[in-house]
Amino acid sequence: MNIGRSSNPVLSKSAFNTQTYASSYTEVMSLNGTINKSIALLLLVVVGAMYTWKMFFGAVSVEAGSALVSKWIMIGGIGGFVFSLITIFKKSWAYITAPIYAVLEGLFLGALSAFFEASYPGIVLQAVALTFGTMLVMLVGYRSGIIKVTQKFRAGIIAATGAVALVYFISIIFSLFGVSNLVIHSNGILGIGISLVIVAIAALNLVLDFDFIAKGSQAGLPKYMEWYAAFGLMITLVWLYIEILRLLSKIASRD
């Protein structure tokens, strides 16, 4: 079976190498199993996020809360990145490393969300609602056949995702030299437009991930790939949430 590529590097074609297929039905990856693992990882992200969120808003002041959770942004961000790399290179460890990644990512997202919420009250609830609403729309669109994952569609999303990654990389390089007022970060019409495009690209990546997971489960991959596939989906979902949060903050800052 030809398994389509995803622009998510975690769910690349090499991740589902046919040489790793399970030998019996009881050992194979299933769609329901992947869904269950995805829910488990999502709950772990929420648990981690609640910890840093409560730490921030439980402090006596915003300044004190910022000081308390700043280290968790570093720990969660760097730790999540490290465990994501471990998971990518050791897929069979995903049942251990993916949950650890989810908790660390939750610590990072909780602290980050608290900073945004302190500046723009109500923004986090909106971002969460839009993230899950977008995921549901993409899932319905994919399952109903309204959004068809053709080779041209896949190639276009992969190219667009690569372009976004390149733009962010250039932005980081410029920031190292003290240039931070790039249009991609602005709250002007163009800056908001760019964020809308990036949100759309992130959302369409979910469709590619759904397609990849569906085909992977049909191909009879090993059971541990349920954790790995759920981990890949979680990466896309986190990216979508952060982009929606940034978009809403740009809009709110114009008021």
17 inside domain: no
pLDDT at 180: 66
pLDDT at 82: 96
Name the domain count of the chain: 1
pLDDT at 80: 94
pLDDT at 159: 93
Averaged pLDDT, groups of 10, the chain, 255 residues long:
53 53 65 93 96 91 87 93 94 95 96 94 96 96 91 92 89 76 79 93 94 85 91 95 95 83
pLDDT at 176: 76
Angle at 130 between CA 127 and CA 133, to 5 degrees: 150
pLDDT at 62: 84
Q: Which domain holds residue 161?
A: 24-252
16 inside domain: no
63 inside domain: yes
- Size of the chain, expressed as the number of residues it contains: 255
pLDDT at 127: 96
**What is the distance between the terminal CA atoms of the chain, rounded to a whole angstrom?**
52
Q: Kindly report the backbone phi and psi dihedral angles of residue 253, in degrees, each rounded to the nearest multiple of 5, phi listed first.
A: -70, -10
- Output the CA torsion sign for 226, 224, 25, 42: negative
Give the span between the Cα atoms of 149 and 136, in whole angstroms.
Answer: 17
Q: What separation in angstroms does the CA of 222 have from each of 33, 216, 217, 228?
A: 12, 10, 9, 10
pLDDT at 218: 85
pTM higher than 0.75 for the full model? yes
pLDDT at 4: 47
5 inside domain: no
pLDDT at 8: 63
Q: Which two tokens stand for residue 21?
A: 């297929």
Q: What separation in angstroms does the CA of 216 have from each of 134, 139, 213?
A: 23, 17, 5
